[in-house]
Amino acid sequence: MACVLEAPLRMSVLSEVTASSRHYVDRLFDLDPQKVLQGVIDMKNAVIGNNKQKANLIVLGAVPRLLYLLQQETSSTELRTECAVVLGSLAMGTENNVKSLLDCHIIPALLQGLLSPDLKFIEACLRCLRTIFISPVTPEDLLYTDATVISHLMALLSRSRYTQEYICQIFSHCCKGPDHQTILFNHGAVQNIAHLLVSTSYKVRMQALKCFSVLAFENPQVSMTLVNVSVDGELLPQIFVKMLQRDKPIEMQLTSAKCLTSMCRAGAIRTDDPCIVLKTLPCLVRMCSKDRLLEERVEGAETLAYLIETDMELQRMASITDHLIVMLADYFKYPSSVSAITDIKRLDHDLKHAHELRQAAFKLYASLGANDEDIRKKIIETENMMDRIVNGLSESSIKVRLAAVRCLHSLSRSVQQLRTSFQDHAVWKPLMKVLQNAPNEILVVASSTLCNLLLEFSPSKEPILESGAIELLCSLTQSENLALRVNGIWALMNMAFQAEQKIKSDILRGLSTEQLFQLLSDSDVNVLMKTLGLLRNLLSTRPHIDHIMSTHGKQIMQAVTLILEGEHNIEVKEQTLCILANIADGTTAKELIMTNDDILQKIKYYMSHSNAKLQLAAMFCISNLIWNEEEGSQERQDKLRDMGVVDILHKLSQSSDPNLCDKAKTALQQYLA
C-alpha cells in the first residue's frame, strides 16, 4: 500500500507513529476467529474520530486483510459486519483514505456483500458504500459497471429504513447527467422511491427528495412522469409543495423547490401554476435573505436563477418580491472586513463561500434582467453594480468570470444601458481582455455580449474597433465550436452595418476569400445566414458596393451562384437575392450581373417562383438594373426585355399580392418613361 501521510517522514519517526498501531493489524492474522473478531472491534473503537490512526492502519496494510475477512465464506456474519463497519470508518477520514480503499477494489467486495441474506451485514456494506460514493474522489461510473447492481439495490429498498436512506443517498450522489438518469429511471427509480417521501423517518424522506431533485434536473422524461405519480392518493407535486412550507427544515424546503423548478423548466408544470408562482418562487426568494446560511443563499439564488431564466412573468414577479434586487447586493459583501471578525473559522467559512455567493448573485441578476428594461435599470442602479461586474470579469475563479459575463450579456440587451452605464464604465475593455484568453464556455457568452456592444447605436463600437476586434472576430469564425463561429460572424455583421469603407475592407481582408467561402458552405444555417447578412451589410452604399465588387466581385458572384443553385431554405435564398439587389444598385458593380447570363436567368427564374418573398427579392434586382435615371439603363432594359422579363412583369402586375403588384407596376413604368 502507498503511504498516505502527506509529508515524507524520517524512518525512526514513522516507526514510532506506526508501532502503536501495528498490534491492531497483527491481531487480524490470529488463528483464533474469536480473537480476530475482538481485534476488529478494538480497531473500530480506535479509529473513531482519529484520522491519524486511520492513516497508520492503512499504511500498515489493514485494508486488504479486512477485505479478505469480509469476503471469506468461513468468516462469521458478525466478523464480516464488523469489518464493513471499520472500512466505513476508514472511508470517513481523508480523501487519500478513500483512494487507498478504491485501490484495493473495495467497491466490488462490498457489492458482493449485498447478496448476503443477513440484513445487518447488508446495512453495514451499504453504509460503507454510501461513505465511499459521496467522496469526490470516487468515480460515479463504478456504480453502473455491472447492470445487475442497480436492480439489486432497487430490490433492497424495501428491507429497512437504513437500506432506504443509504441507497437513496448513493443514487443521488451517483446520478450525474442524462445517461445515469436514464439507467435509474429504466430500473423503476420513480416507482420504487416515490412512497419513501411519506416515510416516518425524516432521513429517508430527505434522501428520497434529493434523489428526485437529481433525477428530474433537465430531464423532461422524468419530470413528465413525476407529475402524474401519486402516493397515498396525493400527487407528487402536492407532496413537494407541502415540503416547501416554512415549518419544514430549510434543507427540505430547498430540495423540494429544486424538484418543482426542474419539473417546471421541463414543461411538466406550467409557469403560471400556483405551486410555482405562490409557493416555489417565494420560497426561493426567502432562501436569498440575509438570515439564511451562506450555502443556503447560494443554492436558493442559483435555483431561482434557473427557474425564472426563460420566463418574463416569473422574472417580473421575482424582481418585486422581498426587495430581491437590493437583497442580492449583500452577496458581494463577503468576507466581511477582517476587523469585524474575531472568529478565524468564520473568516475561513466566509472566504470559502465568497466566490460561490458572487457567482450565484451574477447568475440571478442575469436571469432577472434577461427581458425587462425596467428590471435591468434597477439592477444597474444597485450599489456599485457595474464595478462589481467589471471586477467579476477578471476574477481568478472561472465560474465567477462566466457568471459575470452572463450578467453583462443580459444587461447588454438594453439600448439605454449600452449608451450610458456601459460607456461610463468602459465595459468593453475588460470584455476584450476576457476574449483574448478564456475557455470556450466563457468565450461564447463574451462574444455574444460583444455582438451587442457592436450595434450601430453603441458608443463602445469605435474603441472596440480600435483595439483589434476585427482580427479577433475573424479568428472566431474559424473555430470548431459552432456557437463561436456564429458569434464571430454575427459581431462582424454588426460591425459592418453602416460602417466606413476602410472598416469594410479590413473585414474582408481579415476574413479572406477562402474563409468567406468556407462560411458560406457551413452546414449550419445560422452561420450561413449571418455570413449573408455580413455580405449584405458590406455591400451597402454605392461607392462601397463598387469598391468591394471591383476587388472581390468575381468571388462574391461565385458565392451567390453557389447558394442559388444549392439546396437551401427560402430565407437563405431570399437573403442571397437581396445581396444581388444591392450589387445591382452599384454604379459599376451592376455590370457584373449584366454580363453574367447565368445569374440573369436565375433572377428571371425567381421572378416566377411560387414563393412571394423570393419573387419580391428578384424584383428588387430587376428594378435596380433598369432604373431610368442611371447611365446605360436603355441597354440593360433592352437586354432584359429580350430575355422575357417584361412579359413576367406584366403577369406580376396582375398579382393578388399587393406588394408584388406594386413593384411590377413601378418596374414597368421605367420602360414607359
Percentage of the chain with pLDDT > 70?
96
From 379, 347, 374, select the one nearest 363 (Cα to Cα).
379
Residue located via cell numbers 427557474: 307
Predicted confidence at residue 458, as pLDDT, reads: 79
Predicted confidence at residue 9, as pLDDT, reads: 40
> What integer is the mean pLDDT of 229-240?
96
Predicted confidence at residue 352, as pLDDT, reads: 77
> What integer is the mean pLDDT of 311-337?
92
Predicted confidence at residue 341, as pLDDT, reads: 52
d(CA 422, CA 380): 10
299 membership: H or E segment, kind and range? helix 294-308
Predicted confidence at residue 338, as pLDDT, reads: 54
d(CA 45, CA 97): 18
Predicted confidence at residue 673, as pLDDT, reads: 63
The SS3 of residue 314 is: helix
For residue 507, name the pLDDT band (cuts at 50, 70, 90): very high
Which of these ranges, 8-12, 175-179, 222-226, has the smallest mean pLDDT? Answer: 8-12
Residue located via cell numbers 464595478: 387
Q: Does pLDDT of 461 surpass 90?
A: no
Predicted confidence at residue 534, as pLDDT, reads: 96
Q: Does pLDDT of 539 surpass 80?
A: yes
- pLDDT, tens digit, 9 for 90 and up, residues 393-437: 999 899 999 999 999 999 998 877 777 777 777 888 899 999 988
Percentage of the chain with pLDDT > 90?
77
Predicted confidence at residue 414, as pLDDT, reads: 83
Predicted confidence at residue 246, as pLDDT, reads: 95
- pLDDT, tens digit, 9 for 90 and up, residues 512-538: 888 988 999 899 999 999 999 999 999
Predicted confidence at residue 11, as pLDDT, reads: 41
Residue 231: what are its φ and ψ, rounded to 5°? Answer: -125, 125
Grid cell locating 15: 516507526
Where do the H-state alpha helices sit in 335-397? 344-368, 373-381, 385-392
d(CA 586, CA 601): 20
Q: Does pLDDT of 486 surpass 80?
A: yes
Q: Does pLDDT of 69 surpass 80?
A: yes
Predicted confidence at residue 18, as pLDDT, reads: 62
Q: Does pLDDT of 12 surpass 50?
A: no
Predicted confidence at residue 421, as pLDDT, reads: 78
> What is the chain's mean pLDDT, rounded?
91
Where do the H-state alpha helices sit in 135-219? 147-156, 161-174, 178-186, 189-194, 202-216
Q: Does pLDDT of 213 surpass 70?
A: yes
Non-local CB neighbours of 399 within 8 Å, separated by 6+ positions: 355, 359
Q: Are 313 and 272 in contact (CB under 8 A)?
A: yes
> What integer is the mean pLDDT of 633-652?
91
- pLDDT, tens digit, 9 for 90 and up, residues 350-399: 777 899 999 999 999 999 999 999 999 999 999 889 999 999 999 989 99
Helix 501-511 to helix 525-538 angle (10° resolution) is 140
d(CA 279, CA 275): 5
d(CA 513, CA 509): 8
Q: Does pLDDT of 13 surpass 50?
A: no
Which of these ranges, 387-391, 461-465, 599-603, has the smallest mean pLDDT? Answer: 461-465
d(CA 306, CA 470): 34
* pTM recorded for the entire structure: 0.84
Which of these ranges, 65-69, 280-284, 326-330, 667-671, has the smallest mean pLDDT? Answer: 667-671
Q: Residue 439 gets which letter from DSSP?
A: -
Q: Are 378 and 325 in contact (CB under 8 A)?
A: yes
